[in-house]
Amino acid sequence: MITVVVNDTPRPTRRGETVADLLAVLDVPSRGVAVAVNGEVVRRADWPAHRLLDGDRVEVLTAAQGG
């Protein structure tokens, strides 16, 4: 197992897990979601291929009221 930090919360994760795998187990909305890993945007098209590494900091964002 490795540990990735998702929205500031450490989370044990299987080695080789991708962004798409992570989102599948998180309670995220079906649309309007964006992801950054270590401050870099990971585009939706790249979610299935982008493997998470130990210590990665993942931000999972979605629509919120504002502005």
Binding site for another protein (CB under 8 A): 7, 26-29, 31-36, 39, 41, 43-44, 59-67
CB of 43 to another protein, least distance (A): 5
Quote the least distance from Cβ 42 to another protein, whole Å: 8
Backbone phi, psi, residue 35, to 5°: -130, 140
User: In whole angstroms, how close is the CB of 14 to another protein at the nearest point?
Assistant: 20
Q: Which is nearer to another protein, 49 or 61 (CB)?
A: 61
Which conformational region is residue 32 in: left (phi greater than 0), alpha (psi within -120 to 50 degrees), or beta?
A: left
Pairing mode of beta strands 9-13, 33-37: unpaired
